[in-house]
Structure 1
Amino acid sequence: IHMMFLDGSSPDPCSDSYCGSKPFSEVETAQVAQFLSNHNDTIVHYINFHAFSQYWMVPWAYTTTRPAEFKLLDDGSAEAVQAIMAVENTKYTHDSVAQIIYVASGSTVDWTYGTANIIFSYGVELRDTGDYGFLLPENQIIPTGKETLAGELALLKYIERHVITFIIFFCFFCYPKILTGIPIPAKPMGPCPGCNGILA
């Protein structure tokens, strides 16, 4: 896992933040990592849902330094939380993991973003903000699902707009790079920014 065994994780099996004996020590994480690695030429988005706190977060988790593409990612978070609030006025906060909650090395979103090159990687803490914590009442389950779906759909539309923008300005040989997490700024028609070749 990306930047494992640093601040925010523990080698103690009795700790709440136990990170395992080694990266991908558990069969579940190993299988997910294998799948993502095998398909990272086509996967542009990864999201990891947790509870609780009402946060919509992006890398990095292992450091308070924000990633180079922070604005690109966080603007997507902003659209997601706006869509969530439109459903039942539930307020989410958005920022990088380490800035908004705490430093947590070995995070999945750090690995998908930093190693698997899935640029649109997000971690979400669902309802609530602490009144019930992990024991969310049954009557909040469906509302949580509805607003979360609204947020994710808004984020997917945001990602789609940006992925299409990247493809338009990449040539036939270079545009697949955006599928592995390389953002390409929109620019007037001209040479491909990847290789100066002919645009697709």
Structure 2
Amino acid sequence: MTREAVEEEKRSLEQEVAKWKEAANQEKQRRAELEQLEKELRFELNAEIERSKSLAAKGPSRDGPGSTTKGKFRGPGKEPTSMEGRVIRFYEDLTNLLVPKHYMEKSPHEGLPDEWCFSCVYTHAETSNALNFSLRLFSEPAPDGSDDLIDQVKYTPYELDKETDEFREKLGFFNTPFTFERSQLHVFLRSLGETVQNAAADQDNASENQGGEELVYPE
């Protein structure tokens, strides 16, 4: 074997070794990224569990019956560390809407997409009152008989049995389940905020007036 052939084989082996080293480094980096992602996901999962527990344990407030609780709920004191967690917290602050739980269910109608149900808590920024409800996202065939699907949302309030009759009446159509198109979610959120604000304000005024009444002694 000539010297040139030996040098060529040596260079080939060195290149092969370099490739294996690079592949090993990439695999090591990939494992580190996966471990970091797992840590972030576990942190978010634990934070979500703690938030759900806090909501469940919060219960009725002394300042108001049922689901209208004084003091805006913000969950655990820890700030989210991941980018996704910060985005979620930003949307919560922006919309006053918390989603402590969500799950997926198969559509009862064959061939239609899966349905998603979100358990929600709306807290009004000015009144610090809260309303519990669920939003179920589903699709249904278009009424014109075409192959198009219409995305729908079903709103269902709960724990309203703990509220006063006056508060339920002030909620208007928000005190019963109804369905609307998903494209109208922004209208739903705006209307919900205005309704909860007005209902809670009337309830607070009634409580203040009741508390300010003077006891009249019989002569």
Q: Which TM class, normalised by the smaller chain length?
A: 0.3 to 0.5
Larger radius of gyration: 2
Higher normalized contact order (CA 8 Å, seq sep 6+, divided by chain length): 1
Q: Which has the higher strand share?
A: 2
TM-score norm. by structure 1 comes to 0.33
Q: Which has the higher helix share?
A: 2
TM-score norm. by structure 2 comes to 0.31
